[in-house]
Amino acid sequence: MDLRRLQAALTTSTDADAPLVSTAGIEELPQLPESFIAPAACSAEPPSSTDPTALAVSDRGMADYQRLQRSLLTVTATATALAVPISGWFFGGPTALSLLVGGLAGLLYLFLFSRSVSRLGGDRNSVGKVQLLVPVVLVLASARIPALEILPALLGFLLYKPALILQAVLDR
């Protein structure tokens, strides 16, 4: 298509009843292939159950996720097990107990969250909100039970964060 035909096609008509843009001389655009419009990698449909390679990739992905889940829970439990005696040594029994309760609450939160994430797909497209009750119950329990201190309990709850950071650094 040359420049003159394109200019002629885009010029406005002086006739009031004529369309503002003339389409005379414009060639029809070629159709894009379906794979260009909706690539298979971006498809919203799940892989076919008869495709063995798709199932193998899916199984490997779930195995990797389960390994990551176990690793995060193990590192969080280890961090809690190390932090409780150290805090007991430096700050005393009530602080260590509060840290232990918070660490166990953090483990429960991480477990519930990872279980909710593993259920994604199929008919579920959002993460459950049950795990959000864990910090709320922890704060309420710390406020109501005199043996628990709120700040060490919250710090114990946040002991799952170093596990996440460590895993992110190790996966690079």
Cβ atoms 98, 152 nearer than 8 A = yes
47 assigned to some structural domain: no
Report the predicted TM-score, pTM, of the whole model to 2 decimal places: 0.65
158 assigned to some structural domain: yes
Cβ atoms 81, 128 nearer than 8 A = no
- In a shared domain, residues 143 and 102: yes
What residues contact 137, with CB distance under 8 A and at least 6 apart?
Answer: 105
Q: What is the pLDDT of residue 54?
A: 57
- In a shared domain, residues 22 and 85: no
Q: What is the pLDDT of residues 25-40, one digit of tens each?
A: 555 544 544 444 444 4
160 assigned to some structural domain: yes
Cβ atoms 147, 94 nearer than 8 A = yes
For the chain, state the CA radius of gyration.
30
Q: What is the pLDDT along the chain (172 residues), one digit of tens a residue?
A: 555 655 555 554 444 454 444 455 555 544 544 444 444 444 445 555 555 665 566 678 888 889 989 999 999 999 999 999 999 999 999 999 999 999 999 999 999 999 888 888 777 888 888 899 999 999 999 999 999 999 999 999 999 998 889 888 988 8
- Domains of the chain: total: 2
Range(s) of the domain holding residue 18: 3-38
- In a shared domain, residues 14 and 83: no
